[in-house]
């Protein structure tokens, strides 16, 4: 019999305060292992270990690659590095980005699910977009527990709402209830391991290794899904389509991974960047054409100068069209196109609160 003692937590925008409150609520004799991914800028140091250490009774650190895990510790992914679990060690690597993030919540959750199965408690807090949905699906698929911050309690509800859409969540609760809930769940004994197909296990193992080693092509990722006509916004590599329940995901042959919403966001950002580059190129052409017209004027070749001046004016007209396109171009994602109806969010939340009460009775 094994206890639920592996706690993985993901947070993004609006997630720091719920995270602090969660850590504050844990007892000094907490015997589990806590792993956290928060979306933070890659170019600046993180003070989160110090913040969480001062907030509660447990010590928080950025682990070193290969560091042996200790009970009662909080391990936080350092900036621009994935945090993964391998046996009884933390693994810290600069693998390919997932959903355009590094560190990735999905990568942490997936590795925990693969290594520890039903011992895992996965928690998704406030955040934008949908990093964490695929990872929490894997946690549930391997018989772990799925918890989300109540979307109505979150500063930014996109991440918990996305989980509700695609994952059979066990608990949807306000931030102040998450810590005590984890402590209660850890007292439950578990023994059942998930029975999954060989192909599912192979894909899960492969994706964990890709995050570790960044060699998706050699691992054979192109054979694990349906090859699509889409290309990766990061590296322009070919993308394969992967299915996890109702979740549609994509991964390129170099390793970058996306949900459909994250891929849409990346493609539309790439379109905007291309428009800016096009406008820059056209403006450079205008400058050069005008410069050449000046040179011909100085040389007394007025007819040639007039030709180059006309070409500069024609190019300027086209540049104005591109300029208008740049400022009307939208950066799209699922969140921006379809605002989740309040009745769906509340009805799903109500359902899970009722289930929670019956479970505790």
Asked if the model's pLDDT at residue 10 lies above 70, the reply is: yes
Asked if the model's pLDDT at residue 346 lies above 70, the reply is: no
User: According to the model, what pLDDT value does residue 329 have?
Assistant: 73
Which residue among 39, 81, 82, 256 is the active-site one? 39
The two three-digit tokens of residue 157, written as one number: 């509800």
User: According to the model, what pLDDT value does residue 222 have?
Assistant: 84
Categorize the per-residue pLDDT at 54 as very low, low, confident or very high, splitting at 50, 70 and 90. very high
User: According to the model, what pLDDT value does residue 272 have?
Assistant: 87
Domain ranges of the chain: 2-194+344-360, 263-329
Which residue among 5, 106, 131, 150 is the active-site one? 131
The pLDDT tens digits for 63-90 are 999 999 999 999 999 999 999 999 999 9
The pLDDT tens digits for 233-282 are 999 999 999 999 899 999 998 899 999 888 998 888 888 888 899 999 99
Backbone φ and ψ of 230, nearest 5° = -80, 155
- Is 191 a residue of the active site? no
Does the domain at 2-194+344-360 match CATH 3.65.10.10? Answer given as: no
Of the candidates 29, 22, 24, 28, the one whose C-alpha atom is nearest the C-alpha of residue 7 is 22
- Is 80 a residue of the active site? no
- Is 352 a residue of the active site? no
Quote the CA–CA distance of 123 and 178 in Å, as a whole number: 8
The pLDDT tens digits for 189-245 are 886 788 898 989 999 999 999 998 767 777 788 888 899 999 999 999 999 999 998
List of residues 6+ apart from 297 with CB closer than 8 A: 305
User: According to the model, what pLDDT value does residue 351 have?
Assistant: 44
List of residues 6+ apart from 307 with CB closer than 8 A: none
Predicted model pTM: 0.83
The pLDDT tens digits for 134-174 are 999 999 999 999 999 999 999 999 999 999 999 999 999 99
Which residue among 5, 12, 81, 172 is the active-site one? 12
Exposure string for 208-247, b = 16+ CB within 10 A, e = fewer = bbbbbebebeebebbebbeeeebebbbeebbbbebebeeb
The pLDDT tens digits for 21-52 are 999 999 999 999 999 999 988 888 899 999 99
Burial class of residue 343 in the structure, from the number of CB atoms within 10 Å of its CB (0-12 exposed, 13-18 middle, 19+ buried)? exposed
């Amino acid at each position: 019999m094994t206890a639920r003692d592996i706690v993985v937590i993901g947070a993004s925008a609006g997630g720091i305060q719920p995270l602090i409150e969660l850590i504050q609520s844990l007892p000094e004799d907490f015997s589990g292992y806590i792993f956290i991914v928060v979306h933070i800028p890659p170019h600046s140091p993180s003070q989160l270990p110090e913040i969480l250490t001062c907030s509660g009774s447990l010590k928080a650190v950025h682990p070193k690659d290969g560091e042996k895990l200790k009970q009662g510790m909080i391990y936080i992914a350092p900036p621009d590095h994935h945090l993964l679990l391998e046996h009884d060690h933390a693994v810290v690597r600069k693998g390919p980005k997932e959903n355009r993030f590094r560190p990735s919540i999905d990568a942490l959750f997936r590795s925990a699910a693969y290594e520890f199965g039903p011992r895992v408690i996965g928690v998704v807090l406030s955040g934008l977009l949908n990093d964490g949905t695929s990872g929490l699906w894997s946690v549930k698929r391997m018989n772990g527990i799925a918890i989300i911050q109540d979307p109505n309690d979150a500063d930014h509800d996109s991440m918990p709402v996305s989980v509700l859409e695609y994952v059979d969540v066990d608990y949807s609760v306000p931030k102040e209830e998450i810590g005590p809930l984890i402590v209660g769940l850890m007292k439950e004994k578990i023994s059942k391991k998930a029975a999954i197909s060989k192909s599912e296990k192979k894909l899960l193992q492969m994706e964990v290794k890709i995050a570790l080693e960044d060699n998706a092509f050699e691992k054979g990722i192109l054979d694990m899904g349906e090859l699509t006509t889409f290309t990766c916004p990061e590296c322009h590599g070919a993308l394969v389509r992967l299915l996890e329940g109702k979740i549609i995901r994509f991964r390129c042959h170099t390793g970058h991974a996306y949900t459909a919403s994250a891929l849409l966001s990346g493609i539309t950002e790439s379109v905007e960047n291309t428009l800016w580059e096009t406008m820059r190129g056209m403006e450079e052409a205008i400058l050069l054409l005008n410069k050449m017209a000046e040179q011909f004027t100085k040389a007394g070749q007025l007819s040639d100068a007039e030709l180059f001046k006309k070409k500069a004016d024609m190019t300027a007209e086209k540049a104005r069209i591109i300029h208008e396109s740049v400022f009307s171009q939208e950066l799209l994602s699922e969140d921006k196109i379809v605002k989740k109806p309040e009745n769906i969010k509340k009805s799903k939340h109500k359902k899970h609160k009722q289930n929670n009460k019956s479970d505790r009775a």
